[in-house]
Chain A
Amino acid sequence: MAQQFKDRKTRGFPNGKRAGLLKGIVVWAAALLAAFFPGTGFASYDYIDITNPFLRKIPLAVQPFKISDRTPENEASAAEAVRLISHTLEFTGYFEIIDPEAFLVDSANPPILRPNIQFANWTGIGAELLITGGFHMKNGLMEIELRLFDTFKQRLVVGKKYRALPRDLRRIVHRYCSAILFSLTGSRGYFDSDIAFVSNGTGNKEVFICDFDGVNPRQFTKNRAITLFPAWSSDRKWIAYTAYNRGKPDLYIKNATRQRGYVLDRKGINTDPAWVPGRFELAATLSFSGDQEIYLLTGTGKIIKRLTQRRGIDVSPTWSPDGKRMAFVSKRSGTPQIHIKTMATGAVERLTFSGRYNTQPDWSPKGDRIAYTAMRGGQSNIFLIRLDGGDPVQLTQNAGDNEAPSWAPDGSLIAFSSTREGPSRIYVMTAYGTDQRRLLSMPGEQSNPAWSPNGIYTKVLSGS
């Protein structure tokens, strides 16, 4: 089984560079330390097969932590850390978390370092990866050591040491899981991202925001009016959305952390914001001309130029990661279909040809595919289409209406809404359509998820 872990590429990772990377990570009010372990100068890339990473999940064991001072509080914190690590890694879809009941280890005093770990005990129960943890409380700060081992190669993959306030446990775990994912996939994951969505639990549709895993939902808008289509700027500092505060659909551009922003309220509709990657500019659909066209706007809501020129509905812009192309929905050929405009030449090409109703495009962060919603036989489902051609791949089926795909920032997961359990709720699946699960439970119905970019410094804690 060890040969599953192909080691074709390894990347040198000098300790000095690692320290520099970690210096950039700030957990507020907490010190964060990197500990360097002997023999871990390399991080390998290819544990997870990029072409089909979710086909075979890697069996992974999270060993109970070694606790220096076994008080009930410390034991509870350590147990919570184990639960969080297991939950977070399982969420990715890459791992199968092994039931602790199967462990062959002294849970009161588990070895956490290499010479003492009996790897055969882990390979024997099928664990290909093992996480060990050490927990120590000192002056009100937690010190947590975390190590990921390849049990077949008996090798340390990634080890870190963190010191932080107990309330920052979740952030420590996310930071470590990000390091694990980076060492296994080359991508840092999405563990500091948020998901904005629309919920009508208060009696009106309002924008809410939760963590990437559905935890900690909080209300962002308090418009007491229909509020739709949240969209994050790529620096994550701005959220644009459509709201009926003044009795018609206007475009609001709000600072994600402060109470300020801009409104575009021309006659007709002002809707469908999509931020240009890396710029304080966004595309949106406006109909003041009497025709629904996509315009490029400044981040303050001023029109820069019109981007679509054909009579008929043009809506739902989404940008390629390099900002050089824009996909959108147009009815120019008689039915709503996804088209792509190349900004430099102005050329527009039709992308979808099968079916009579293809809408809600969302360009993948890797740039090679577009997720969208196709309605066939009266049912909506999520599809993926490659930009270089080929048949669309259907990701959802026979489970109510599935709409509004939104890519996770690393392109591995897709959030969407589904009526498979009756009311519309937010779900998450892998980019291969596997591991479909509900993200959160809330009163009312939820729709229109919008996955934020990663962002270390600008986490939205509460809104206006």
Chain B
Amino acid sequence: MRKKLWIHLALLLVIPGLLFTASCAKKTVKSDTSAAAAAVEEQQRQTDKAAAQAAQEREQQAEAEAAAQLAEETAERDEMIQKNMFESESIYFEFDSAALSPMAQSVLEGKANYLRDNPGAQVIIEGHCDERGTPEYNLALGDRRAESAKNFLVNLGIDIARFTTVSYGEENPVDTGSNEEAWAKNRRAKFLVE
């Protein structure tokens, strides 16, 4: 009877032990696979991290490039806008006059700023007249208008060597109408960057 008890006891002890062993073994096995997975995971993580980092770097670089390009484009655009403004903004004169109005003078001051910011810019100043009067005299008058704009800019400190003047007299109207509005538009000095 006692023997039976011992067996039971042994069983009682062994089985959990077995169980334990089994569970241990299992656990070992289990532990092995999880380590490998972890390694892979780690590796993956590393890769992912590197990739992310690279991506981030790329992104940053692209962003920087885009920013630089944007800045460049903006600068170019600004320059273009400034150049366009410089070229599109003419100054206007009274009939049979080459005198600069206060308005014309303030436009010329803006042009002087542009020329200071763009020291490489060479400028052609065109002098124009309206259709009234006669072409010989108007050719001379257009010349005077261009010269008076040039002299004003030179007096503001811009090098005289940067200017060329061309008179078109009444030969190149912007508005071919025969009315006050058209004439006023045509009596002008126009600026071009070479």
Residues of A at under 8 Å CB distance from B? Answer: 205, 226, 228-229, 242, 247-249, 267-269, 271-272, 285, 287, 290, 292, 313-316, 329, 335-336, 357, 359-360, 373, 375, 378, 380, 403-404, 447-448
Contacts and interface: CB of A to CB of B under 8 A. Distances in A.
Contact of A360 (B134, B139, B143, B169): B134
Nearest to A360: B134
B136 interface: yes
Contacts of B134: 359-360, 373, 375, 380, 403-404
Contact of B139 (A271, A336, A373, A447): A271
A204 to B, nearest CB: 10
Given A228-B135, A313-B140, A357-B96, A248 B147 contact: no
B167 A315 contact: no
Given A269-B143, A313-B144, A378-B132, A359 B137 contact: yes
Interface in B144-175: 144, 147, 164-169, 171
What 10 pairs between A and B have smallest CB-CB spacing? A292-B140, A359-B134, A313-B140, A315-B140, A316-B136, A248-B166, A359-B137, A269-B143, A360-B134, A287-B143
A403 B144 CA distance: 23
Contacts of B140: 269, 271, 285, 287, 292, 313-315
B110 interface: no
Contacts of B168: 226
Nearest to A315: B140
A301 to B, nearest CB: 18
Contacts of A268: 143, 147, 165, 167
Contacts of B165: 267-268
29 contacts: A226-B168, A228-B139, A247-B166, A248-B167, A249-B139, A249-B166, A249-B167, A267-B164, A267-B165, A268-B147, A285-B136, A287-B143, A292-B140, A292-B143, A292-B144, A313-B137, A313-B144, A316-B137, A329-B137, A336-B96, A336-B137, A359-B133, A359-B136, A360-B137, A375-B133, A378-B132, A380-B134, A403-B134, A447-B135
Contacts of B96: 335-336, 357
Nearest to B183: A378
Contacts, number: 77
Nearest to A269: B143
A360 B147 contact: no
Contacts of B108: none
A313 B141 contact: yes
B132 A315 contact: no
Given A287-B140, A375-B132, 20 more contacts: A229-B136, A242-B139, A248-B167, A249-B139, A267-B165, A268-B147, A268-B167, A272-B136, A285-B140, A292-B140, A313-B140, A335-B96, A336-B133, A359-B133, A360-B136, A375-B133, A375-B134, A380-B133, A380-B134, A448-B135
Q: Among the interface residues A205, A269, A292, which one has the most CB atoms of the partner chain B within 10 A?
A: A269
Nearest to B126: A248
Interface string B80-104: 0000000000000000100000000
A259 B100 CA distance: 44
A271 B137 CA distance: 10
A223 to B, nearest CB: 13
Nearest to A380: B134
Interface string B45-64: 00000000000000000000
A373 B134 CA distance: 8
A268 B137 CA distance: 14
A242 B138 CA distance: 14
Contacts of B141: 313
Contacts of B133: 336, 357, 359, 375, 380
Nearest to B151: A290
A285 B171 CA distance: 18
B186 to A, nearest CB: 15
Contacts of B139: 228, 242, 249, 269, 271-272, 315
A248 B127 CA distance: 11
Nearest to A271: B139
Contacts of A360: 134, 136-137
A359 B133 CA distance: 8
A247 B134 CA distance: 21
Q: Among the interface residues A247, A287, A380, which one has the most CB atoms of the partner chain B within 10 A?
A: A287
Contacts of B135: 228-229, 447-448
Interface in B23-52: none
B171 A290 contact: no
B80 to A, nearest CB: 24
A285 B135 CA distance: 13
A443 B116 CA distance: 48
B141 to A, nearest CB: 7
Given A248-B166, A268-B165, A269-B167, A290 B147 contact: yes
Nearest to B124: A247
A335 B166 CA distance: 23
Contacts of A285: 136, 140
B62 to A, nearest CB: 46
Nearest to A335: B96
A362 B140 CA distance: 18
